[in-house]
A and B are shown apart, each in its own frame.
Chain A
Amino acid sequence: MLADLFAHYNYWVVIALIMLGMYVVMANPNLVKKIIGLNIFQTAVFILYISMGELEGGTAPILSDAFTVYANPLPHVLILTAIVVGVATTALALALAVRIHRAYQTVEEDEIDAQDARDEALQ
């Protein structure tokens, strides 16, 4: 069981980062910090997939005559797409944050809730 723990050490890293990212998104009231936490969560998922594609004694998946064992190229492809889609999502999230700032003059979640409550009370 202890040998298993050490063999799975890449998964422990991933789990720690996922917990960190989730905690930040849920607990931190600042929108930009939430976006940073979301990015950390995304990178944890990338590490999970890339570490699953790693092969003992393998090398980068570029065919050449000097090597025979290659790392698995399929997770690389998926994560490449995922990284680019992730930056697209981050850009949209940051644009939303800017828009919110324009409407509420703040990006703190509790102040936004307070302003909404005030507007509803006025109506």
Chain B
Amino acid sequence: MAVAAIRQRNLFAAVMLFGIYSLLLAALFVTMDAVDVAFTEAAVGAGIATILMLATLAITSARQKESKKRALVPLLAAIATGLVLAYGTSDLPRFADPQAPAQRHVAPRYLTESAEEIGIPNVVTSVLASYRGYDTLGEVTVIFTAGIGVLVLIGRTRRRRSDDGE
């Protein structure tokens, strides 16, 4: 699905395929027991990102022009990166291994203590809002800054265009 999205010349079709890819990804997250993440990915990827890309396409053009240059160096760089990553992952724990280091450090404490210290069933919310509350504060600030950034970049154009005409 990702390959199909990229090979499309018609950008509108590429964005639609990207939306389907996001939805498939959300389903994949559900099979990996990440329900909150799947919820967010479905809402954000298939919803907001697709809408914003379509809005951008409505402002710019909807077709991609023919490309004239050869793409050899990026292809070699991508393949080299893939090989290095493959070498690096040979030491990582296998999929869903209960003895992996990621499962033993702090996660069991969150799972067991969350019931007594916070008392809400959804552990992801308790970790997000209480144990790691600072990170969530930073995240909200990032979202807010992005909103302001977009408004500064492409807000109020009518007034600016009339100023340029003077």
Q: Given A15-B85, A23-B78, A53-B34, do A90 and B49 touch, yes or no (CB 8 Å)?
A: yes
Q: Are B11 and A15 in contact (CB under 8 A)?
A: no
**B contacts, CB < 8 Å to A:** 2-3, 5-6, 11, 14-15, 18, 21-22, 25, 28-29, 32-37, 40-41, 44-45, 48-49, 52-53, 55-57, 59-61, 64-65, 67-69, 71, 73-75, 77-79, 81-82, 85-86, 89-90, 92-98, 100, 102-103, 106-107, 110-111, 114-115, 121-124, 127-128, 132, 135-136, 139, 142-143, 145-147, 149-150, 153-154, 157
Question: Contact between B132 and A55 (Cβ–Cβ < 8 Å)?
Answer: no
Residue with the highest number of chain B CB atoms closer than 10 Å, among A20, A27, A83: A27
Given contact pairs A20-B6, A30-B11, A73-B123, A84 touches B139 in the complex (Cβ within 8 A): yes
**CB within 8 A of A15: which of B65, B82, B128?**
B82
Residues of chain A in range 1-17 having any CB-CB distance to chain B below 8 Å: 4, 7-12, 15-17
A interface residue numbers (CB < 8 A to B): 4, 7-12, 15-20, 22-24, 26-30, 32-33, 35-37, 39-40, 43, 46-47, 50-56, 58-64, 70-77, 79-81, 83-92, 94-99, 101-102, 107-108, 110-111
User: What is the CA–CA distance of A80 and B21 in the complex, to the nearest angstrom?
Assistant: 18
A29 and B106 alpha carbons, distance in the complex (Å):
44
> Whole-angstrom distance from the CB of B90 to the nearest CB of chain A?
7
Q: Which residues of A contact B149 (CB under 8 A)?
A: 92, 95
Distance between A61 CB and nearest chain B CB, rounded to angstroms: 4
B150 and A77 contacting across the interface, CB-CB below 8 Å:
no
Q: List 20 A-B contacts (CB under 8 A).
A: A11-B86, A11-B89, A16-B82, A18-B81, A36-B6, A50-B29, A60-B34, A61-B111, A63-B114, A74-B127, A76-B37, A76-B124, A77-B135, A79-B37, A80-B36, A81-B128, A86-B44, A87-B45, A90-B53, A98-B60
- Complexed CA–CA distance, A75 and B106 (Å): 11
Is the beta-carbon distance between B11 and A80 smaller than 8 angstroms? Answer: no
Q: Is the CB of B37 within 8 A of A8?
A: no
> Which residues of the other chain, A, contact B100 by a CB distance below 8 angstroms?
52
